[in-house]
A and B are shown apart, each in its own frame.
Chain A
């Protein structure tokens, strides 16, 4: 177990290192002159070459690729994200404030997704092929096809504009989080419903189930003790992947609902070409991704240890 954990950790480190090199290469080769963009954002005027060169020097854009990479990655290793290229303020405090807005929203979205999809999938699979099941599949397909920005606007139109029940923009009260969380959650619910449904149906086809009922095990116990664990393996994997879509959706949702958070942080950083801000978000995202995948790996090895055996 410790050996597998170590090898999983090693894998995570390799992924992170790869992410670091790739991110830097992308930034390095991004079209447009970052120094000019930074200078423009900082001084808000047309600039002379001298000023731009000075900025270039200051931000460390003068070195060659690998030299610059080493300068760049060193502080990141100790989680020092440096100062904003635009405002000159340290990145971390601003980033932390964004996280405190985004993280609860993401959790709420995932929770809403699970709360809707799990019972829906279980209900639908009671009688596969019947009306309720087809209805659930149709809704889920529709849900995955609807983009978050459109659903978000639709919800604003209905609950904020027409009914005036909920606030649409900003993040002052917890009520402000309801519509964004719902937008995220419905998207998550749509894809999870399909995954959980097929997970359950596949688990129901396991060859040992008829023998269990002939042994006198009740249908309820079979569902709880045998079908559920088998269905959980694909679901756990997908919930991990779902996080990717969640991050993507977060950027859109935060912009639509005018919420502060990582998404807004990232978009304004990109528009300002604020390198340190962009890279901080990218590094953070990679970290979250790798940790979630690590956790998923550990969980499904717990459910089905054969997965680990096969790897070894």
Chain B
């Protein structure tokens, strides 16, 4: 199902931090929402999720750090049941085993509380929760910044593999064009609360049009390896 939102905007202390924005997201889309810090990426992500939920779509959200997703006083099993319940599913009806195996956290002890798991496993647990019930869209907000690079790369690979062949669309919010370039097919570039450029990834990398995308492209990688 194609997802459409229009006129999303947001204010903070009298200042517009998100100018009216409309978006269309196709099923299976892989979208990167990129921009420097303070450009309004996360704000747009939140507004998008809230609007789509209000329309009745199922949208999942993976915040930047597992600390923003899990209650340290509640067990992992509790979080899982709660997520199922919130989606109107019977406890135990989500295919936990498949998701856990796909994300390589099948060995985790669900009776433990989040801090009994490593951060990498917590983050993957949050992603697994986000995938319950095959949502129409999964929004990942800087999913790798709280993780060690090795764990981060593995997590992104596992997620890619799991989403393959499913209708779920993915939006990756990041300040890192290098990361987005390897993971998404469409880029939306944000600057000062507006989407200033939207195009296939390759096109923006080769022919950035705006100041924002030129700067991001120029600082995309640390260096190119000769090989």
Interface residues of A (CB under 8 A from B): 206-208, 210-212, 214-218, 221, 225-226, 229-230, 303-306
Contacts and interface: CB of A to CB of B under 8 A. Distances in A.
Interface stretch (B23-31, B67-75, B92-100, B181-189): B67-75
Contacts of A211: 61, 63, 68-69
Interface of A is mostly: helix
Given A206-B71, A214-B49, A230-B71, 15 more contacts: A207-B68, A208-B70, A212-B71, A212-B82, A214-B46, A214-B53, A215-B83, A216-B86, A217-B82, A218-B86, A221-B82, A221-B85, A225-B74, A226-B71, A229-B73
A214 B59 CA distance: 8
Nearest to A233: B73
Interface of B: 46, 49-50, 53, 59-61, 63, 67-74, 78, 82-83, 85-87, 113, 115, 129
B129 A215 contact: yes
The list of the 4 closest CB pairs from A to B, nearest first, reads: A216-B86, A214-B61, A211-B69, A229-B73
Contacts of B63: 211
A303 B71 CA distance: 12
Nearest to B129: A215
B82 A303 contact: no
A208 B69 contact: yes
6 contacts: A208-B70, A215-B82, A215-B83, A225-B71, A303-B73, A304-B73
B82 A305 contact: no
B61 A215 contact: yes
A208 B68 contact: yes
B49 A306 contact: no
Contacts of B87: 216
A213 B83 CA distance: 10
B63 to A, nearest CB: 5
A169 B72 CA distance: 51
A303 B73 CA distance: 7
Contact of B86 (A206, A210, A217, A226): A217
